[in-house]
Amino acid sequence: MAGQGLSGWTRCFHPAPAAEMRLVAFPHAGGSASAYRALSSLLSPAIEVHSAQYPGRQDRLGEPVIDDLHVLADKLVDVVSALPKPFALFGHSMGAIVAFEVTRRLEARGLVPAALFVSARRGPDLYKEKSHHLADDTTFLAEVGRLGGTAAMVLDDPDIRALALPALRGDYKAVETYRYRPGPDVSCPVVALAGDADPVLDVQDLENWREHTTGSFETELFKGGHFYLDDNLDAVAARVLGKLTVSP
């Protein structure tokens, strides 16, 4: 049984109270806290992972989906700031923007994370006009399937698809309507990660993250597509451990 964080907003699958570092992980569009269960296992007990559980999925299925990333970040900053220090943040795809916006809010409160890991996402002020969330179910699901990952497989089941569609559409709306708001960015180190064959990411756009931190900046590419994490968990875990200078 995973431990629940403040107001049920996070899940901790491998509690490690003696860990010297926490990692707060933010899932992709349509994703849930369990997306980071395997990574949590690899990082424990050196790093205790707290995975965000957005409303509208799994055990929060009855709650309305938050389809505005700024609102979502406003909700999550209180959750993250209540965790033991020090901590770092990790976000994949949509989660990268959520993690960035949460970090901005944390730093405005004087809380600077040890690092911000942004995965499979271009920089925050680079956007493309898209409206997949308004498409009919067939067209929308085809787009979701194009990215691969677990979601593409489970959506073949009609019952699961009916339960998952509201969260997926809400998350896609949140991503597609997100606009970067000029203002203070972050000062913590930023590490940008991606798959070298991601169908929706120009790896050159990873460099844009450099412009949004006054701290150090690094990038690393892995073999794979948008969900490269699935095939590179050991390497990603080693990268996180190395950056956070925690011995496995």
Mind telling me the catalytic residues? Answer: 93
Quickly count: other Cβ atoms within 10 Å of residue 107's Cβ.
17
Alpha carbon distance 221, 48 (integer Å): 25
CA distance 222 to 23: 21
**Tokens 């995975």 sit at which residue?**
51
With a CB cutoff of 8 Å and minimum separation 6, the contacts of 31 are 57, 92, 94, 95, 151, 171
Please spell the DSSP secondary structure of 75-115, one letter per residue.
HHHHHHHTSPSSEEEEEETHHHHHHHHHHHHHHHTT---S-
The rounded distance, in Å, linking the Cα atoms of 212 and 217 is: 10
Q: 204: burial class by Cβ within 10 Å (0-12, 13-18, 19+)?
A: exposed
